[in-house]
């Protein structure tokens, strides 16, 4: 298996990455929001509307 960041062979210690550096790069990408699951923004608005209804009641 190749490291998803740099394509070098994966190290079992950091699997699926080759090093802690590549693992940290991947974590930073997640935290910045670089990886997203496509979806409708309407779903997010609907859930926040429901939360507002609960707090008002």
At residue 45, φ and ψ (nearest 5 deg) are -65, -40
Does residue 17 contact residue 5 with C-beta atoms inside 8 Å? Answer: yes
pLDDT in tens, 26-56: 999 999 989 888 877 655 555 555 666 666 5
Tell me the whole-structure pTM to 2 decimals. 0.62
Q: Buried b / exposed e across 26-56, counting CB within 10 Å, b at 16+?
A: beeeeeeeeeeeeeeeeeeeeeeeeeeeeee
Q: What is the CATH number of domain 1-57?
A: 3.30.50.10
Q: Where are the domains of the chain?
A: 1-57
Are the C-beta atoms of 4 and 26 separated by less than 8 Å? Answer: yes
**What pLDDT is stored for residue 9 in this prediction?**
97
pLDDT value, residue 23: 97
More confident residue, 53 or 14: 14
Cis peptide before 20 (omega within 30 of 0): no
Q: How would residue 20 be classed by pLDDT, with cut points 50, 70 and 90?
A: very high
């Amino acid at each position: 298996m190749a490291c998803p960041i740099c394509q070098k062979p994966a190290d079992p210690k950091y699997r699926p990455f080759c090093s802690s550096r590549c693992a940290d790069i991947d974590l930073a990408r997640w935290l910045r929001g670089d990886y997203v699951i496509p979806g409708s923004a309407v779903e997010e608005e609907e859930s926040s509307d429901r939360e507002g209804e609960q707090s008002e009641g």
